[in-house]
A and B are shown apart, each in its own frame.
Chain A
C-alpha cells in the first residue's frame, strides 16, 4: 500500500486553499450580475419618464 509523502500532503493543502480562494470569486460574480440588473432598472425608469 502506497504511503502518502509530505509533498503529497502539502500539494493537497495547497489545492484546498486554491479552491477555497476560487469560491471567493462568487462575490464579484454576484456583483456583476447585480450591476447589470440595476442598469436595466435604471433604463426602465428612464423609459417610463
Chain B
C-alpha cells in the first residue's frame, strides 16, 4: 500500500515538475509566435489605408536641464522635411536650473511663431506632468491637428514625421510611433546590446503587434497623436504610473482607436553606457509595467470587440516578458526536481527545452539582424551573445549532446563519475537563475576599480539575464512599495547628428 502511494506521489511530482519546465518554455514559444507572425506584416499592414496628409503638428519637448542637447534637437526638428508653417515646437521647461531656458528662448527669438518656451516653475513631478503642461496649452488653441510627443535628446530622421503623419489620414488611427534606434556616436558594449534589443523589441515585435492589432507601447521618444485621440483620453497623458507611455497607449486603444508602428520612420536616441544607468532607466520601465498590469487587471485574456488588448496572443506576449524571471526559476526548479527523481527524464526534458530555445533564438537573431542591417553589422557579437556565452553553450550542448565527454573529458582520459555528472547537470539546470545573479553582480562590479570585469561578466551571463534581473528588482520594489519618484536618465548629447 505504502509503495503504491509512493508511486502515485512520484507520478504527481513528475507531472508537476514537467509542468514547471513547460511553463519555463512559454517565453520561447511566445518569441517563436512573434517571429512566425512577423512576415505577415508584408501584407497585413496599414500602408493600404495610409495617405497624403500633412496636419498642423505641435511638437512637445519635455526638458529638464537639457542644455547639452536641446539646441541640436530644435535645429533638427526645424530641418524636418515637413511644411514649416505646419510645424510648431513647444519646449516645456520643467524648472530647469541649467542654461536650457536661455537656449530655448534664444531659439524662440530666432524662430518667432514656430518655437515656444513654456516654463513650469514647479518641476520634478515627472515627464507626464511636464508633457501635460504643454498639451493643455496646445489643446486650448484650435491650431494643432496632431501632437508629436518626443524626448529632448532624440534626433528625428528628416523624413520621419511625414512618414508618421500619413497613417493619421485614416481616422481610425489614434496614434503612430516610430522606430527608436540606438544612435550614440561613442558606442560601447552596452549601447550595442541596446541596439540589438531595439531591433528585436521594435522592428520585429512591434511589427507583429501591428499585425495582431494591439500595440504594447508607443515609444515615449516618438509618439504622434491625432488631436481627437488626445482629447478622447482626457486631453492629458495619464500620470498614475511610471509607464505614462504605456498608459496612454492602452487608454487610446481601449477607446477603439488603432495604434500604428511605422518601421520606416527612424528616430535616433542616446542610450546609457553604464549598467547602473541602464538599470535605473529599465527599473522605472519595469515597475511601470507591473503597475500597468495591476491597473488593467480586468483586461487580460478577455477578448473585446473594441480593442485587441484582451486577446490571447497579446496576453501571451505581455506576460511572457513580465513573468520571464519567474518562469525561468520555475523551469530550473522543475529540472532540478526531475534530476533528483529521474535524471534520465530530466536530461530529456532539458534537451527538448534548450533545443527549442536554440532553434527559436537562432531564427529570431538571424531574422532580426536583417531588419536593420547597419545595427546588425555593428553589433553582430552582441546579437550572438544576447543570451550570453553560458546560454549559448547550453544550446550547443543540447543540440549536440556528448560534446563535453567527447572533446574535453575523453582527450584527458577522464570520464564523469556519478556525482560529477550529477553536479554538472545541476549546474546546467540552474544556469538561468545563476545568470540573473551574475547580471546583478555585474552592476556591483562596475562601480569598483575592476569595472572592466562587468563587461566580461555581462557577455557571459547575457544582456537578457540583465533585463530579467531588473524585472526581479521591479517585483521587489513594487512589493515593498519603494519610492516611485521619477528619475531622469542622464543625456549628454552623444547622438549622431
| A residues with CB within 8 A of B | 1-2, 4, 8-9, 12-13, 15-17, 19-20, 22-27, 29-30, 32-34, 36-37, 40-41, 44, 47-48
User: Is the beta-carbon distance between A9 and B52 smaller than 8 angstroms?
Assistant: yes
Whole-angstrom CA separation of A37 from B362 in the bound complex:
7
B47: chain A residues at CB < 8 Å are: 16-17, 19-20, 23
Least distance between B54 CB and chain A CB atoms (Å): 6
Q: Which residue of A lies closest to B359 (CB)?
A: A37
Binds A, one of B178-186, B236-244, B365-373, B463-471: B365-373
| 6 sampled A-B residue pairs with Cβ under 8 A | A19-B47, A20-B48, A23-B263, A29-B367, A33-B363, A34-B363
Smallest CB–CB gap between A10 and chain B, Å?
A: 8
Sample of 12 more A-B contacts, CB < 8 Å, known A27-B39, A30-B35, A44-B399: A1-B86, A8-B52, A12-B166, A16-B47, A19-B264, A20-B45, A26-B38, A26-B207, A33-B364, A33-B367, A33-B370, A34-B363
Is B400 in the interface zone, CB < 8 Å from A? yes
Q: Are A32 and B52 in contact (CB under 8 A)?
A: no
B370 contacts across to A, CB distance below 8 A: 29, 32-33
A40-B42 contact given A16-B166, A47-B400, CB 8 Å threshold: no
Q: Which residues of A contact B494 (CB under 8 A)?
A: none
User: Bound complex: CA of A47 vs CA of B398, how far in Å?
Assistant: 13
- Type the 1/0 row for B5-27, where 1 means its CB is closer than 8 Å to any CB of A: 00000000000000000000000
CB distance from B125 to the nearest CB of A (A): 36
Report the separation of the CA atoms of residues A12 and B401 in the bound assembly, to the nearest whole angstrom.
55
Residue among B45, B166, B367 making CB contact with A23, cutoff 8 Å: B45
Whether the pair B50, A16 counts as a contact (CB closer than 8 A) is yes
- B363 and A37 contact, CB distance less than 8 A: yes
- Contact between A37 and B400, CB atoms less than 8 A apart: no
Partner of A12, one of B48, B162, B371: B162
A4 CA to B52 CA in the complex, in Å? 9
Interface size class, chain B: 20 to 34
Instruction: List A contacts of B443 (CB < 8 A).
Output: none
> A12 vs B52: C-alpha distance in the bound complex, in angstroms?
6
Q: Which of B42, B366, B371 contacts A37 (CB 8 A)?
A: B366
User: Which residues of chain A have C-beta atoms less than 8 A from B121's C-beta?
Assistant: none
Chain B's closest residue to A34 (CB) is: B363
A30 touches B39 (CB 8 A): yes
Asked if B41 is an interface residue, CB under 8 A from chain A, the answer is yes
Measured CA separation A19–B50 after assembly (Å): 11
Once the chains are docked, how many angstroms separate the CA of A1 from the CA of B42? 36
- CA A34 – CA B363 in complex, angstroms? 6
Output the least CB separation between B48 and chain A (Å): 7
Is the pair B359, A24 in contact by a Cβ cutoff of 8 Å?
no
Using Cβ atoms and an 8 Å threshold, which residues of chain A touch B38? 26, 30
C-alpha gap A20/B49 in the complex (Å): 11
B362-A22 in contact (CB<8A): no
B344 within 8 A of A: no
Contacting residues, chain B, for A27 (C-beta < 8 A): 39, 42
B171 within 8 A of A: no
Complex formed: what's the CA distance from A30 to B204 in Å? 11
Chain B hits for A29, CB < 8 A: 39, 367, 370-371
The 6 closest A-B pairs by CB, nearest first: A33-B366, A20-B47, A12-B52, A33-B367, A9-B52, A30-B39
A37, B263: Cα distance in complex, Å:
26
Mask: chain B, 43-71; 1 = CB below 8 Å from A; 0 = not? 00101101110100000000000000000
Chain A proximity mask over B398-413: 1 for CB below 8 Å, otherwise 0: 0111000000000000
B292 to chain A, nearest CB (A): 29
| A15 CB contact (under 8 Å) in B54, B163, B207, B366 | B163
